[in-house]
C-alpha cells in the first residue's frame, strides 16, 4: 500500500513516521484516538491535520503491526 499522507525523513523528528511532512508523529495521532479523543478534538489540538490524516495514521499503524510479531504476556 502506498502511503500518501505518511512521511519519514531521517532529518526530521528522528525519522519517525509523521503526517504529511509535518512534525506530528503518527504515534501521537494514534495515541490520541486510543485515549478516546474525538476526531474534532484531535483536529482542534492540531489545526494542520485533516480528517484523512487521522484515518491514514490508523491504517498505517494497523499495517505496521501486521508486519511484525509482538510478544504477548500470557496470563498465569
User: pLDDT tens across 7-44, in order?
Assistant: 999 999 999 999 999 999 999 999 999 999 999 999 99
Domains assigned to the chain: 6-66 (1.10.10.10)
Within its chain, how far is the Cα of 1 from the centroid? 15
User: pLDDT tens across 23-33, in order?
Assistant: 999 999 999 99
What pLDDT does 73 receive?
Answer: 72
For residues 3 and 54, the answer to whether their CB atoms sit within 8 Å is: no
CA distances from 46 to 43, 66, 75 (A): 5, 28, 39
What pLDDT does 16 receive?
Answer: 96
What pLDDT does 44 receive?
Answer: 98
Q: Give dist(CA 17, CA 8) in Å, integer.
A: 5
What pLDDT does 65 receive?
Answer: 86
What pLDDT does 12 receive?
Answer: 95
Amino acid at each position: 500500500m502506498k502511503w500518501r499522507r505518511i512521511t519519514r525523513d531521517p532529518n526530521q523528528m528522528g525519522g519517525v513516521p509523521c503526517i504529511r511532512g509535518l512534525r506530528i508523529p503518527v504515534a501521537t495521532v494514534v495515541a490520541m484516538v486510543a485515549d478516546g479523543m474525538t476526531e474534532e478534538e484531535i483536529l482542534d489540538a492540531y489545526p494542520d491535520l485533516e480528517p484523512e490524516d487521522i484515518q491514514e495514521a490508523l491504517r498505517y499503524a494497523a499495517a505496521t503491526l501486521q508486519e511484525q510479531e509482538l510478544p504477548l504476556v500470557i496470563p498465569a
